């Protein structure tokens, strides 16, 4: 199923809960414009503690890279997944 990011219905555009196949931790899937869905950490974090390149925000059920000017942001699960090697 494909949900248009600019469609009228927002019912299917909320975060879909799941578990990471690599580590088993909770994740939320979000559509991001016309691109593939992104796996985000399920909680917001203080933006001041998250590097700018890792910040995401969710608006109307669609995830966007970067901050939105608020003091909170989301981050991709890949950044905090314990099953992945740290750079």
- Nearest CA-CA partner of 40 in 84, 82, 76, 79: 76
Mean pLDDT of 32-38: 83
Residue 67 has what pLDDT? 82
pLDDT band for position 68 (cuts 50, 70, 90): confident
Mean pLDDT of 35-61: 91
Residue 4 has what pLDDT? 57
Q: Is the pLDDT of residue 17 over 70?
A: yes
List the beta bridge partners of residue 57: 64
Q: Is the pLDDT of residue 2 over 60?
A: no
Residues 74 and 48: their CA atoms lie apart, in Å, by: 12
Residue 12 has what pLDDT? 52
pLDDT band for position 16 (cuts 50, 70, 90): confident
- Secondary structure E strands in the chain: 16-19, 26-32, 35-40, 45-46, 56-59, 62-65, 72-73
């Amino acid at each position: 199923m494909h949900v248009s990011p600019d469609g009228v219905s927002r019912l299917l555009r909320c975060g879909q809960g799941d578990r990471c196949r690599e580590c088993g931790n909770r994740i939320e899937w979000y559509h991001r414009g016309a691109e593939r869905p992104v796996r985000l950490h399920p909680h917001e974090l203080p933006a001041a503690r998250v590097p700018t390149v890792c910040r995401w925000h969710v608006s109307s059920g669609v995830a966007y890279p970067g901050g939105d000017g608020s003091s909170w942001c989301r981050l991709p699960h890949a950044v905090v997944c314990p099953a992945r090697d740290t750079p």
